[in-house]
Amino acid sequence: MIGAGGGATGLGAILVEVLQGLLALLLAPGIVGLVRFIKARLQGRRGAPPWQPYRELAKLFGKEMVVSRNASWIFGVAPYVVFASTLAVALLVPMLAAPLPIDRAGDLIVVVYLLLLGTFAIGLAGLDPGSAFGGMGSSRALTIAALAEPTIALAVFALAVPAGSTNLGRIVARAIEDPGGALSPGHLMALAALFIVMLAEAGRLPVDNPATHLELTMIHEAMILEYSGRSLALLEWAAFLKFFVFLSLLANLGLPWGVALNPGASAVLVAAAILIVKVALLAAAVAVLETRLAKLRLFRVPELLSVSFLLALLAITSSFLVE
Protein backbone atom coordinates (compact mmCIF):
# COMPACT_ATOMS: atom_id res chain seq x y z
CA MET A 1 0.00 0.00 0.00
CA ILE A 2 1.28 3.48 -0.86
CA GLY A 3 1.06 6.34 1.60
CA ALA A 4 -0.45 9.59 0.42
CA GLY A 5 2.52 11.58 1.64
CA GLY A 6 5.08 9.58 -0.31
CA GLY A 7 6.80 6.38 0.68
CA ALA A 8 5.37 2.97 1.33
CA THR A 9 3.30 1.91 4.31
CA GLY A 10 1.91 -1.34 5.65
CA LEU A 11 2.49 -4.66 3.92
CA GLY A 12 3.92 -3.02 0.79
CA ALA A 13 6.68 -1.34 2.81
CA ILE A 14 7.58 -4.61 4.51
CA LEU A 15 7.83 -6.36 1.15
CA VAL A 16 10.06 -3.60 -0.24
CA GLU A 17 12.35 -3.84 2.80
CA VAL A 18 12.54 -7.64 2.55
CA LEU A 19 13.26 -7.38 -1.18
CA GLN A 20 16.00 -4.83 -0.51
CA GLY A 21 17.69 -7.10 2.05
CA LEU A 22 17.47 -10.15 -0.23
CA LEU A 23 18.74 -8.16 -3.20
CA ALA A 24 21.76 -6.99 -1.23
CA LEU A 25 22.52 -10.49 0.03
CA LEU A 26 22.22 -12.03 -3.42
CA LEU A 27 24.08 -9.38 -5.41
CA ALA A 28 26.95 -8.62 -3.01
CA PRO A 29 29.13 -11.65 -3.93
CA GLY A 30 28.48 -11.06 -7.63
CA ILE A 31 29.63 -7.42 -7.43
CA VAL A 32 32.91 -8.50 -5.82
CA GLY A 33 33.26 -11.17 -8.51
CA LEU A 34 32.67 -8.51 -11.17
CA VAL A 35 35.48 -6.35 -9.75
CA ARG A 36 37.84 -9.33 -9.76
CA PHE A 37 36.85 -10.24 -13.33
CA ILE A 38 37.36 -6.72 -14.67
CA LYS A 39 40.71 -6.39 -12.90
CA ALA A 40 41.87 -9.68 -14.39
CA ARG A 41 40.94 -8.59 -17.90
CA LEU A 42 42.61 -5.20 -17.47
CA GLN A 43 45.77 -6.98 -16.32
CA GLY A 44 45.73 -9.30 -19.32
CA ARG A 45 44.59 -12.36 -17.37
CA ARG A 46 41.61 -14.58 -18.04
CA GLY A 47 40.47 -14.52 -14.43
CA ALA A 48 37.67 -16.34 -12.64
CA PRO A 49 34.06 -15.72 -13.76
CA PRO A 50 32.02 -13.10 -11.84
CA TRP A 51 30.01 -15.82 -10.11
CA GLN A 52 33.11 -17.42 -8.51
CA PRO A 53 32.41 -15.88 -5.05
CA TYR A 54 29.10 -17.80 -4.94
CA ARG A 55 31.01 -21.05 -5.46
CA GLU A 56 33.47 -20.09 -2.73
CA LEU A 57 30.68 -19.35 -0.24
CA ALA A 58 28.89 -22.63 -1.06
CA LYS A 59 32.15 -24.53 -0.59
CA LEU A 60 32.86 -22.86 2.76
CA PHE A 61 29.34 -23.52 4.07
CA GLY A 62 29.89 -27.21 3.32
CA LYS A 63 33.26 -27.45 5.09
CA GLU A 64 33.88 -28.50 8.67
CA MET A 65 34.82 -25.81 11.21
CA VAL A 66 38.18 -26.02 12.98
CA VAL A 67 38.46 -23.90 16.14
CA SER A 68 41.62 -23.03 18.02
CA ARG A 69 41.92 -24.39 21.56
CA ASN A 70 42.76 -20.92 22.78
CA ALA A 71 39.57 -19.40 21.40
CA SER A 72 36.72 -18.39 23.70
CA TRP A 73 33.01 -17.87 23.03
CA ILE A 74 33.85 -14.48 21.47
CA PHE A 75 35.49 -16.28 18.54
CA GLY A 76 32.32 -18.26 17.82
CA VAL A 77 29.86 -15.38 18.24
CA ALA A 78 31.78 -12.73 16.28
CA PRO A 79 30.89 -13.95 12.73
CA TYR A 80 27.18 -13.79 13.52
CA VAL A 81 27.49 -10.31 15.07
CA VAL A 82 29.44 -9.04 12.04
CA PHE A 83 26.98 -10.55 9.56
CA ALA A 84 23.87 -9.38 11.45
CA SER A 85 25.15 -5.82 11.93
CA THR A 86 26.12 -5.52 8.25
CA LEU A 87 22.73 -6.86 7.15
CA ALA A 88 21.03 -4.33 9.44
CA VAL A 89 22.99 -1.55 7.73
CA ALA A 90 21.88 -2.92 4.35
CA LEU A 91 18.26 -2.60 5.48
CA LEU A 92 18.70 0.97 6.75
CA VAL A 93 20.48 2.30 3.66
CA PRO A 94 17.89 3.39 1.04
CA MET A 95 18.48 1.24 -2.04
CA LEU A 96 15.13 0.79 -3.77
CA ALA A 97 12.75 3.26 -2.16
CA ALA A 98 12.79 6.28 0.13
CA PRO A 99 11.55 6.97 2.65
CA LEU A 100 10.45 3.68 4.26
CA PRO A 101 9.02 2.93 7.75
CA ILE A 102 12.25 1.14 8.72
CA ASP A 103 13.93 4.55 8.56
CA ARG A 104 12.34 5.27 11.95
CA ALA A 105 14.45 2.47 13.46
CA GLY A 106 17.68 4.30 12.78
CA ASP A 107 19.44 7.08 10.94
CA LEU A 108 23.01 8.08 10.16
CA ILE A 109 24.13 7.67 13.78
CA VAL A 110 22.74 4.13 14.01
CA VAL A 111 24.40 3.16 10.72
CA VAL A 112 27.79 4.40 11.95
CA TYR A 113 27.43 2.55 15.25
CA LEU A 114 26.37 -0.67 13.51
CA LEU A 115 29.47 -0.47 11.31
CA LEU A 116 31.57 0.11 14.44
CA LEU A 117 29.92 -2.86 16.13
CA GLY A 118 30.95 -5.17 13.30
CA THR A 119 34.49 -3.79 13.25
CA PHE A 120 34.78 -4.14 17.03
CA ALA A 121 33.49 -7.73 16.93
CA ILE A 122 35.91 -8.88 14.21
CA GLY A 123 38.71 -7.01 15.97
CA LEU A 124 38.07 -8.95 19.18
CA ALA A 125 37.83 -12.19 17.22
CA GLY A 126 41.23 -11.56 15.66
CA LEU A 127 42.76 -11.06 19.11
CA ASP A 128 40.93 -13.93 20.83
CA PRO A 129 42.92 -17.01 19.64
CA GLY A 130 46.23 -15.32 20.49
CA SER A 131 47.58 -15.46 16.95
CA ALA A 132 50.33 -12.92 16.22
CA PHE A 133 48.96 -12.14 12.77
CA GLY A 134 45.39 -11.89 14.07
CA GLY A 135 46.43 -9.36 16.70
CA MET A 136 48.37 -7.36 14.12
CA GLY A 137 45.40 -7.30 11.75
CA SER A 138 43.01 -6.27 14.53
CA SER A 139 45.28 -3.44 15.62
CA ARG A 140 45.49 -2.12 12.05
CA ALA A 141 41.77 -2.51 11.39
CA LEU A 142 40.73 -0.67 14.55
CA THR A 143 43.19 2.12 13.81
CA ILE A 144 41.69 2.56 10.33
CA ALA A 145 38.15 2.38 11.75
CA ALA A 146 38.95 5.10 14.29
CA LEU A 147 39.87 7.38 11.38
CA ALA A 148 37.22 6.25 8.89
CA GLU A 149 34.02 6.11 10.94
CA PRO A 150 34.01 9.80 11.95
CA THR A 151 34.50 10.69 8.29
CA ILE A 152 31.40 8.70 7.33
CA ALA A 153 29.37 10.60 9.91
CA LEU A 154 30.71 13.99 8.81
CA ALA A 155 30.27 13.29 5.08
CA VAL A 156 26.68 12.12 5.39
CA PHE A 157 25.93 14.93 7.86
CA ALA A 158 27.07 17.38 5.19
CA LEU A 159 24.51 15.82 2.86
CA ALA A 160 21.93 15.94 5.66
CA VAL A 161 22.11 19.71 6.11
CA PRO A 162 20.01 20.56 3.02
CA ALA A 163 17.50 17.83 3.95
CA GLY A 164 17.24 19.02 7.54
CA SER A 165 17.44 15.42 8.79
CA THR A 166 20.04 12.72 9.47
CA ASN A 167 17.60 10.12 8.15
CA LEU A 168 19.18 8.52 5.07
CA GLY A 169 15.82 7.99 3.37
CA ARG A 170 14.94 11.67 3.71
CA ILE A 171 18.39 12.68 2.45
CA VAL A 172 17.92 10.61 -0.72
CA ALA A 173 14.34 11.87 -1.18
CA ARG A 174 15.57 15.46 -0.85
CA ALA A 175 18.31 14.80 -3.45
CA ILE A 176 15.68 13.50 -5.89
CA GLU A 177 13.49 16.57 -5.34
CA ASP A 178 16.47 18.93 -5.82
CA PRO A 179 18.75 17.27 -8.43
CA GLY A 180 20.76 20.46 -8.89
CA GLY A 181 22.06 20.09 -5.36
CA ALA A 182 23.95 16.96 -6.41
CA LEU A 183 26.35 19.20 -8.32
CA SER A 184 27.07 21.56 -5.44
CA PRO A 185 30.67 21.70 -4.12
CA GLY A 186 29.66 20.42 -0.69
CA HIS A 187 27.82 17.45 -2.17
CA LEU A 188 30.73 16.50 -4.42
CA MET A 189 33.30 16.80 -1.62
CA ALA A 190 31.15 14.66 0.68
CA LEU A 191 30.87 11.97 -2.01
CA ALA A 192 34.64 12.06 -2.58
CA ALA A 193 35.20 11.60 1.17
CA LEU A 194 32.76 8.68 1.23
CA PHE A 195 34.50 7.06 -1.73
CA ILE A 196 37.88 7.15 0.01
CA VAL A 197 36.37 5.79 3.22
CA MET A 198 34.65 3.03 1.24
CA LEU A 199 38.03 1.85 -0.03
CA ALA A 200 39.30 1.69 3.56
CA GLU A 201 36.21 0.09 5.11
CA ALA A 202 35.88 -2.52 2.36
CA GLY A 203 39.58 -3.38 2.46
CA ARG A 204 40.29 -2.30 -1.12
CA LEU A 205 43.43 -0.87 -2.70
CA PRO A 206 45.28 1.34 -1.93
CA VAL A 207 44.46 0.76 1.78
CA ASP A 208 44.39 -3.04 1.76
CA ASN A 209 44.83 -5.72 -0.87
CA PRO A 210 42.01 -8.30 -0.71
CA ALA A 211 44.00 -10.70 -2.91
CA THR A 212 47.20 -10.67 -0.87
CA HIS A 213 48.69 -13.73 0.81
CA LEU A 214 51.57 -11.91 2.48
CA GLU A 215 50.85 -11.97 6.21
CA LEU A 216 52.88 -8.87 7.03
CA THR A 217 50.71 -6.66 4.80
CA MET A 218 47.27 -8.13 5.52
CA ILE A 219 44.62 -6.28 7.51
CA HIS A 220 41.19 -7.88 7.05
CA GLU A 221 42.56 -11.26 6.00
CA ALA A 222 44.89 -11.36 9.03
CA MET A 223 41.91 -11.14 11.41
CA ILE A 224 40.12 -14.12 9.85
CA LEU A 225 43.12 -16.43 9.39
CA GLU A 226 41.91 -18.69 12.22
CA TYR A 227 38.39 -19.08 10.80
CA SER A 228 37.11 -21.89 8.62
CA GLY A 229 33.87 -23.44 7.42
CA ARG A 230 30.56 -21.70 8.11
CA SER A 231 32.11 -18.94 10.25
CA LEU A 232 34.54 -17.97 7.50
CA ALA A 233 31.70 -18.01 4.97
CA LEU A 234 29.67 -15.58 7.11
CA LEU A 235 32.64 -13.23 7.50
CA GLU A 236 33.38 -13.27 3.78
CA TRP A 237 29.71 -12.72 2.94
CA ALA A 238 29.57 -9.82 5.41
CA ALA A 239 32.64 -8.28 3.75
CA PHE A 240 30.98 -8.61 0.32
CA LEU A 241 27.79 -7.10 1.73
CA LYS A 242 29.60 -4.11 3.28
CA PHE A 243 31.23 -3.34 -0.07
CA PHE A 244 27.84 -3.54 -1.80
CA VAL A 245 26.21 -1.30 0.83
CA PHE A 246 28.86 1.40 0.40
CA LEU A 247 28.53 1.27 -3.38
CA SER A 248 24.73 1.53 -3.07
CA LEU A 249 25.01 4.45 -0.67
CA LEU A 250 27.38 6.26 -3.01
CA ALA A 251 25.18 5.51 -6.01
CA ASN A 252 21.96 6.72 -4.42
CA LEU A 253 23.47 9.79 -2.74
CA GLY A 254 25.42 10.80 -5.84
CA LEU A 255 22.88 9.77 -8.49
CA PRO A 256 19.58 9.33 -6.64
CA TRP A 257 17.52 9.02 -9.81
CA GLY A 258 15.74 5.69 -10.01
CA VAL A 259 14.96 5.42 -6.29
CA ALA A 260 11.20 5.03 -5.92
CA LEU A 261 9.42 7.73 -3.91
CA ASN A 262 6.02 6.05 -4.29
CA PRO A 263 7.08 2.41 -4.60
CA GLY A 264 4.54 0.35 -6.44
CA ALA A 265 5.56 -3.01 -7.86
CA SER A 266 6.70 -1.63 -11.22
CA ALA A 267 8.56 1.30 -9.64
CA VAL A 268 10.45 -1.01 -7.28
CA LEU A 269 11.45 -3.34 -10.11
CA VAL A 270 12.70 -0.38 -12.16
CA ALA A 271 14.57 0.91 -9.08
CA ALA A 272 16.21 -2.51 -8.64
CA ALA A 273 17.34 -2.59 -12.28
CA ILE A 274 18.73 0.95 -12.09
CA LEU A 275 20.50 0.17 -8.79
CA ILE A 276 22.21 -2.85 -10.35
CA VAL A 277 23.44 -0.71 -13.27
CA LYS A 278 24.72 2.08 -11.00
CA VAL A 279 26.48 -0.30 -8.61
CA ALA A 280 28.02 -2.25 -11.51
CA LEU A 281 29.40 0.98 -12.99
CA LEU A 282 30.89 2.00 -9.64
CA ALA A 283 32.35 -1.49 -9.23
CA ALA A 284 33.96 -1.16 -12.67
CA ALA A 285 35.41 2.22 -11.62
CA VAL A 286 36.88 0.60 -8.48
CA ALA A 287 38.40 -2.16 -10.62
CA VAL A 288 40.01 0.37 -12.96
CA LEU A 289 41.32 2.38 -10.00
CA GLU A 290 42.83 -0.70 -8.36
CA THR A 291 44.74 -1.61 -11.52
CA ARG A 292 46.31 1.86 -11.50
CA LEU A 293 47.21 2.08 -7.80
CA ALA A 294 49.67 0.20 -5.62
CA LYS A 295 49.05 -0.56 -1.98
CA LEU A 296 50.08 2.26 0.31
CA ARG A 297 52.53 1.71 3.12
CA LEU A 298 50.67 1.32 6.40
CA PHE A 299 52.00 4.60 7.77
CA ARG A 300 50.69 6.44 4.71
CA VAL A 301 47.09 5.23 5.19
CA PRO A 302 46.30 7.80 7.95
CA GLU A 303 47.38 10.53 5.53
CA LEU A 304 44.85 9.31 2.94
CA LEU A 305 42.09 9.10 5.54
CA SER A 306 43.01 12.55 6.81
CA VAL A 307 42.36 13.85 3.30
CA SER A 308 38.89 12.26 3.35
CA PHE A 309 38.21 13.76 6.80
CA LEU A 310 39.24 17.19 5.54
CA LEU A 311 36.98 16.82 2.50
CA ALA A 312 34.05 15.91 4.76
CA LEU A 313 34.78 18.89 7.00
CA LEU A 314 34.91 21.22 4.00
CA ALA A 315 31.67 19.69 2.73
CA ILE A 316 29.90 20.57 5.99
CA THR A 317 31.29 24.11 5.89
CA SER A 318 30.17 24.51 2.29
CA SER A 319 26.68 23.16 3.12
CA PHE A 320 26.17 25.71 5.87
CA LEU A 321 27.47 28.54 3.71
CA VAL A 322 25.12 27.58 0.88
CA GLU A 323 22.23 27.35 3.28
**Structural element, H or E, at residue 58:** helix 52-61
Percent of the residues in the chain that have a pLDDT greater than 70, as a whole number: 93
Tally of CB atoms within 10 A around 284: 16
Instruction: Report the candidate in 232, 71, 220 with the shortest Cα–Cα distance to residue 140.
Output: 220
pLDDT in tens, 35-52: 999 999 998 898 899 999
Q: What is the pLDDT of residues 140-189, one digit of tens each?
A: 888 888 889 889 888 988 888 888 888 888 888 888 887 766 678 888 89
- Say what the pTM is: 0.91
Q: Which residues pair with 2 in a beta bridge?
A: 8
**What is the residue range of 297's domain?**
10-322
Residue 219 lies in a domain: yes
On whether residue 5 sits in a domain, the answer given is no
DSSP state for residue 207 in the 8-state scheme: T
Q: What is the pLDDT of residues 235-276, one digit of tens each?
A: 999 999 999 999 999 999 888 888 888 777 888 899 999 999
Domain count, the chain: 1
Note whether residue 3 is domain-resident.
Answer: no
In a domain, 254, yes or no: yes
In a domain, 73, yes or no: yes
Q: Is residue 53 situated within a structural domain?
A: yes
Alpha carbon distance 35, 288 (integer Å) = 9
CA distances from 145 to 53, 85, 120, 151, 239 (A): 25, 15, 9, 10, 14
Rounded to whole angstroms, the Cα distance separating 246 from 27 reads 13
Cross-strand partners of 8: 2
Residue 1 counted as domain residue? no
Q: pLDDT category, 14, cuts 50, 70, 90?
A: confident
* 27 or 147, which is more confident: 27
Residue 197 resides in a domain = yes
Rounded to the nearest 10 degrees, the angle between the axes of helix 52-61 and helix 229-254 is 150
pLDDT (0 to 100) of residue 7: 47
Is residue 65 classed as helix, strand or coil in its secondary structure? coil
Average pLDDT, the chain: 87
Strand partners, 203: none
